[in-house]
Structure 1
Amino acid sequence: MRDLFWARKELATLDPVQDARRYAQLTFETRYGLPIFIHALFSVAFAYNMGDPRIANVLYREGTGTIIKNTRQRNFETLVFFGLIYEHGDGPEGQRIIQRMQRIHTHFRIPNELYLYTLATLACLPRRLSDRFAGADGLSRDELESQFQLWLRVGKMMGIQDIPPTQEAYLAWMLDYEQKNFAYTPGGEAVVRALAAEWADYWFPKPLQGVAENLFYALIDPELHEVLGIPKPPRWQSALAGQLVKGFIKAVRVLPDVPERSLIKTFSRNIDELKLKAKLA
């Protein structure tokens, strides 16, 4: 019989800094890795980047970017990439994966500060969401530290310069960056709306997709809605989003551990299905 609390027992033997990859993998890929939630979390992280006109322009490309033309394909490929990072971290295979990704991006000539902000959405956004929606009942310090440490190492592998060394410093840098650099662009709005629509379409029946899109928008800090060009959800839907996040965290704390999950297995299968549909179309 499977040990009902196997993940918690393994986490108790790990250090969130020294064993950051495995700790983050067990935390964010397995325990909190419910596909509908993790799909939303990383899509929202992507959406935050659209506040910077330079990032938005690179991805929108006057409506020709893959994120607009084939949102689901692009999204699921990104989720599989994150799964590869959770599986390999900064080991030899992880380094090869990062090198391949960097070769893809070389022709965009992306400056260091844009890489630094994108990394912040992965290293710091879980803390922002947890603090805003769950407060003291949110993710633990160790859970958040393991995520931060994993992406800190990925950033160093990528050669990103001037990464703040602590969660607190990086989060402060992130908020300051948004104040100084964020501005509305039609392309940024189009990408965020595409991300919300893709998530809602994948998980919800058509009659509920409008509500689902508002739940997605509610996960983004309200002060960024205007700069991203997205509507502010009705108050009850914002409250519902908060209760769902807080309730999910509480449920994970008390319910037995699920079997080990993999973003690679969950979302690469969907990529294969999308490619098959494209060939048959």
Structure 2
Amino acid sequence: MMKHTPEKPTPVWRLRPPVTNRIATLDPEVHYEEIARLLYAYEFSWDIERALEFALFRTYAVPSISGLLAKTREFELRTRKRYDDTELILAETIEHGQDSRRGKRAIARMNAMHGRFKIDNADMLYVLSTFICEPIRWLDRFGSRSMTAKEKRAWFLYYRALGARMGIKDVPENLDEIMGFNETYEAAHFRFADTNRRIAEKTRDLLLGFYLPRWLIWAGRPAVYAFLDHPLRESMGFPAAPGWLRRLLMAALSLRARVLRLLPARRKPRRLTRLPRPTYPDGYRIEELGTFR
């Protein structure tokens, strides 16, 4: 994603719905989990889901991260399950709370998976930083509005608390610091590796499969490339999208943002744990998510 995109102003009338009124009354230093949950389930549900997809995509540009994922072979053999498991574990924590019974079980399952491998703390911190930075950047570019300063602070504090429960060390104290770390890390570690390409190709086609029939996935690939900045594409060995396609997609998302400003705000939560998934047609147990020895 491009960095330092100017923020979009918040239309005054958009503060009137109950959810945004509720956020306005909360203290991000204390109620960061509730603010993050309202942003995720009500205010920016579609945008945050897309942004987190691209956040994960960025992590595959780091050979030490993609190499570990390739070693397990989970992304290559069971791409949809691996994607669903990651999304469900993160969704369980934000929907129920990190200290809730389900939240604790989800974090324990995530830590058990990571604990099987010797993962560099900087790599873990970088992955965490993408979950913080990419939704903020996405909304600056494509959302009906940007996050407010209060919302950004709460979003940061939510993931900072999650990082602590994951045992990640040296998490920065504020958003500016982790934004800076994110950019510095990418500049130092983004480089091409075959494992980057393999994991990214599987994920690219999986995400396109949510919108296109299998036989049309090849036609949608340039649309994915249109959202990737040059260093990210180079590290994965992907070609640039045609300029006309990129302009068309950016214009379409800009139009969507303008239309959203005219529509009523969401009044029912969108919870990713409730979405039907072919991977788990009969539901799932948290302890069965993810990878095992």
Q: Considering the TM-score relative to the shorter chain, is it more than 0.5?
A: yes
Structure 2 counterpart of 1:57: 67
In structure 1, the gaps of 5 or more residues are 277-281
Mapped pair 1:159 → 2:137: no
Equivalents in 1 of 2:44, 2:28: separation in Å? 16
TM-score (norm 1): 0.84
Pair 58,275 (structure 1): closer, same or farther in 2 beyond 3 Å: farther
Query: Is the contact made by 1:51 and 1:184 (CA closer than 8 Å) also made in structure 2?
Result: yes
- 3-state DSSP of counterpart to 2:171: coil
% identical equivalent positions = 25
Mapped pair 1:262 → 2:274: no
* CA-to-aligned-CA distance 1:257-276 (integer Å, 9 cap, x gap): 22111010015x44313999
- 3-state DSSP of counterpart to 2:95: helix
Equivalents in 2 of 1:186, 1:265: separation in Å? 35
Equivalents in 2 of 1:49, 1:223: separation in Å? 12
Pair 14,95 (structure 1): closer, same or farther in 2 beyond 3 Å: same
Structure 2 counterpart of 1:8: 20
Which runs of structure 1 show a deviation greater than 6 angstroms over 4 or more consecutive aligned residues?
none
* CA-to-aligned-CA distance 1:88-127 (integer Å, 9 cap, x gap): 3332432332122111221211121111011011011122
TM-score (norm 2): 0.81
Query: Is the contact made by 1:138 and 1:249 (CA closer than 8 Å) also made in structure 2?
Result: no
Structure 2 counterpart of 1:125: 134
Report matched runs for 1:20-59 at 5 Å.
20-34=32-46, 37-59=47-69
The match for 1:219 among 208, 227, 252 is: 227
Pair 5,264 (structure 1): closer, same or farther in 2 beyond 3 Å: same
In structure 2, the gaps of 5 or more residues are 1-15, 285-293
Structure 2 counterpart of 1:139: 147
Query: Is the contact made by 2:98 and 2:162 (CA closer than 8 Å) also made in structure 1?
Result: yes
Note the aligned Cα RMSD (angstroms). 2.7
- 3-state DSSP of counterpart to 2:116: helix
Name the one with the larger helix percent: 1
Letter in 1 for 2:36: A
Shift of 1:45: 1.1
Pair 137,262 (structure 1): closer, same or farther in 2 beyond 3 Å: closer
Structure 2 counterpart of 1:238: 246
Letter in 1 for 2:28: P
The match for 1:95 among 98, 101, 104 is: 104
* CA-to-aligned-CA distance 1:9-58 (integer Å, 9 cap, x gap): 32232233422222112212322213xx5553222111111121110100
Query: Is the contact made by 2:51 and 2:138 (CA closer than 8 Å) also made in structure 1?
Result: no
Structure 1 counterpart of 2:117: 108
Equivalents in 2 of 1:213, 1:199: separation in Å? 10
* CA-to-aligned-CA distance 1:212-236 (integer Å, 9 cap, x gap): 3333333332332111212211112
* CA-to-aligned-CA distance 1:126-181 (integer Å, 9 cap, x gap): 223334x2599533333333222211110011121111111111111111111112
Shift of 1:77: 1.5
Pair 8,247 (structure 1): closer, same or farther in 2 beyond 3 Å: farther
Query: Is the contact made by 1:183 and 1:227 (CA closer than 8 Å) also made in structure 2?
Result: yes
Pair 251,270 (structure 1): closer, same or farther in 2 beyond 3 Å: farther
Equivalents in 1 of 2:96, 2:144: separation in Å? 31
Structure 1 counterpart of 2:289: none
Letter in 1 for 2:56: F
Equivalents in 1 of 2:39, 2:233: separation in Å? 29
The match for 2:178 among 145, 163, 170 is: 170
Letter in 2 for 1:19: H
- 3-state DSSP of counterpart to 1:160: coil
Equivalents in 2 of 1:59, 1:199: separation in Å? 18
Equivalents in 1 of 2:54, 2:161: separation in Å? 22
Letter in 2 for 1:215: A
Query: Is the contact made by 2:66 and 2:196 (CA closer than 8 Å) also made in structure 1?
Result: yes
* CA-to-aligned-CA distance 1:64-94 (integer Å, 9 cap, x gap): 6111212111111211112112113332432
Pair 22,214 (structure 1): closer, same or farther in 2 beyond 3 Å: farther
